[in-house]
A = this chain, B = another copy of it.
Amino acid sequence: MRATTLHGPQDIRLSEVPDPTIEADTDAIVKVVAGCICGSDLWPYRGLNDIVPGNTIGHECVGVVEEVGSAVSSFRPGDFVVVPFDHCDNTCVHCAAGMQAACTHLGFTTSGQAEFARVSQAEGSLVKTDGMPDAALIPSLLALTDVMATGWHAAISAGVGPGSTAVVVGDGAVGLCGVLAAKQLGAERIIAMSRHEPRQAVARRFGATDVVAERDKEGVARIMELTGGVGADSVLECVGTGDSMKTAFKIARPGSTVGFVGVPHDVVLPVQAMFGRNIGLAGGMAPVRKYLPELLELVTTGAIDPGLVFDSTLPLDQVADGYAAMDERRAIKVLLQP
């Protein structure tokens, strides 16, 4: 099949690789209808993570079931499915406790930017739509496989509730979905930290009541001013750098929680400040499957449209252009059509 492969820094290619196959009776093979590029794919693309040259890449996709293993009974070829980037059996002790991201059979989509993807633990992981979805819904369904569920996890972890004030640090697709999640969870005031006009526009469309373009010290001062010196009831940290985390803890009000979903890079947590001001930290890799049924309902009823984070759609053979566009922040998020 044609699949995206990474060979070194900035060296991303569309290659011919063997089709994925059923390796365990719990697997399914999905024919990808739409895949996409994630902000976290940029870390290896930029040479900041170790890679195995030639490996396929891409952990987000939706598509049609092509084949299932003998232990998969709820899905059959032809079903349209949403594939959580983190696969789980949805029955183990951690899944049962609602932490599917720590499933004892955890697996990941590894060829989402390709023609086919293997899903381990298909029975527990997949969620199917009611028939073939309208083409217009595809971007929003695709967003559920990672970024929307991750933004939702940030908002849930940060304890966003009705009438509250939430600040979202980070204007990538996850941060924007965090705005949408905060809105859906009833936040009354939602402050998006963003200095990029196209992202500000999506943030406002998703429910941001205020946009703060300043960063670091100036950004903190502006948030404190906007919250009457109190700080935010909830902070969604959707970046994962040392600077963004510092900002998050400075704008969180005493007794609140920072919900973090950006893979941490060079982060030192301010434990003394957390103790002194009773600011908690919660979150991590999103248990996508946990949230999928609820989010799918919100998408199919039109209550949310997270697909708006895709501001670029490319055929799969232009995947390298897609990476470059995201790397240079010319695109928020790129959808790929095999």
Chain A residues packing against B (C-beta within 8 Å): 93-94, 97-99, 101-102, 157, 228, 230, 253-255, 257, 260, 263-264, 267-269, 271-272, 274-285, 287
- Which residue of chain B is the closest to A99 with respect to CB atoms? B255
Closest partner residue, chain B, to A279 (CB atom): B284
CB distance from A287 to the nearest CB of B (A): 8
Q: Which residues of B contact A268 (CB under 8 A)?
A: 268, 271
Contact of A283 among B280, B282, B287 (CB under 8 A): B280
C-alpha spacing A97/B269, complex, angstroms: 24
Name the one of B97, B278, B280, B284 contacting A285, with C-beta atoms under 8 angstroms. B278
Chain B residues within 8 Å of A255, by CB: 94, 97-99, 102, 287
Cβ contact within 8 Å between A275 and B260: yes
Closest beta carbon of chain B to A7's beta carbon, Å: 27
> CB-nearest residue of chain B relative to A93?
B230
Of chain B, the residue at the smallest CB distance from A97 is: B255
Question: Is the CB–CB distance between B278 and A274 below 8 Å?
Answer: no
Residues of B near A280 (CB, < 8 A) are 157, 257, 280-283
Complex Cα distance, B276 from A287, in Å, reads: 11
Please name 14 further chain A to chain B contacts, defined as beta carbons within 8 Å, in addition to the given A97-B253, A276-B285, sorted by A numbering: A94-B254, A94-B255, A101-B254, A102-B254, A102-B277, A257-B282, A260-B275, A268-B268, A274-B284, A275-B283, A278-B284, A279-B284, A280-B281, A282-B282
